[in-house]
Amino acid sequence: MRLAAIDIGSNAARLLISEVGQDVHGEPQFNKLNLIRVPLRLGFDVFEKGEISKEKRGMVLQTMKAYGHLINAYGVTHTIACATSAMRDARNSADLIRKIKMETGLDIEIISGDLEASIIYENHVAEQMDKDHSYLYIDVGGGSTELTFFAEDKLVFKHSFNIGTIRLLKEMVDDEHWNAMKEMIKSGTKGYKKIIAIGTGGNINKVFSLSKKKDGKPLSLDLLKDYYKEIASFSLEDRINTYKLRADRADVIVPALQIYINVMRWADADEIYVPKIGLADGLIQHLYSELQAGRK
């Protein structure tokens, strides 16, 4: 079975195509066939002006048409497509979604921040780790950060905050936003076992690659602080050249590190694992679960 997931975020739109098989125990195995990312950067329009510009609407439509062709070329049987923070905030998103449906056949659903956090958690990374710790998922996007706290074999809380990399670049995050996040983390994690962070998102994936750590090894909070100071000291052009970053990564990686560092400090987490999964991976698993439930 081949499944596809489309994630239209505030910084980029992603298409993930996966083949689902079974291992020797009959458990599903998800094999990534292709992952395509287009830096639409919708948040730069929406968070400042409240709507998606004509130019960006055209870019979204062309991207969805291309994704539709790829989905057909790969012989995908089922597709799920979601949009997050920027489309949630854009007053003209409904019109754009109708146009996409009419011209491509793709149904885009705008999901809430809490549902976004739940879907990311469906990757179930924490369940494969030891029971001597609690785990805090941190997913940092352009428009929002989703936190999901897992302890004592249960989901303790999930919450979405309008603190994202593009909002920070646009100076749209104030002390009130930070204080609300800090209070939620401190009160929600109090009394549980030592916390280990699990980081998702393109920026933490890039930092992990820069670190040259082996897969499965964590990054320390001190290392993230060092990267933050070092990368922030460079101009945008120098970041691109020094770290071989795309332009659409070079500007958002610094505010992303700021968010991860703050969350880890407030949760008293010294390490962060980077499994290199994200919303699109969770969407694939969510779609598969729904299909299996329908068959039963």
**Tokens standing for residue 20:** 């689902």
For residues 148 and 254, give the distance between their C-alpha atoms in angstroms, rounded to a whole number: 22
The pLDDT value given to residue 114: 86
Q: Name which of 177, 88, 160 is nearest 119 in CA terms.
A: 160
User: What CATH code is assigned to 124-276?
Assistant: 3.30.420.150
Number of DSSP helices (H) and strands (E) in the chain, helices first: 13, 11
For position 88, what pLDDT does the model report? 95
Q: Is the fold of 2-112+280-295 the same as that of 124-276?
A: yes
Cβ count near 212 (within 10 Å) = 6
pLDDT computed for residue 92 by the predictor = 97
Predicted confidence at residue 28, as pLDDT, reads 87
pLDDT per residue of the chain (296 residues) written in tens, 0 to 9:
999 999 999 999 999 999 999 888 888 899 999 999 999 999 999 999 999 999 999 999 999 999 999 999 999 999 999 999 999 999 999 999 999 999 999 999 999 988 888 887 665 555 566 678 899 999 999 999 999 998 888 889 999 999 999 999 999 999 999 999 999 999 999 999 999 999 999 999 999 999 999 988 999 999 999 999 999 999 999 999 999 999 999 999 999 999 999 999 999 999 999 988 888 998 999 999 999 888 75
- Residue 296 confidence (pLDDT): 57
pLDDT of residue 24: 80
Cα separation, 48 vs 71, whole angstroms: 33
Q: Which of 270, 233, 89 is nearest to 164 (CA)?
A: 89
Cα–Cα distance for residue pair 146/119, rounded to 1 Å:
10
CB-CB contact of 275 with 198 (8 Å): yes
Q: Give the tokens for residue 135.
A: 């785990």
Question: Is 85 exposed, middle or buried (CB count within 10 Å of its CB: 0-12, 13-18, 19+)?
Answer: buried
CATH 3.40.50.12280 fits 2-112+280-295, yes or no: no
Q: Give the pLDDT of residue 6.
A: 98
> What is the domain partition of the chain in residue ranges?
2-112+280-295, 124-276
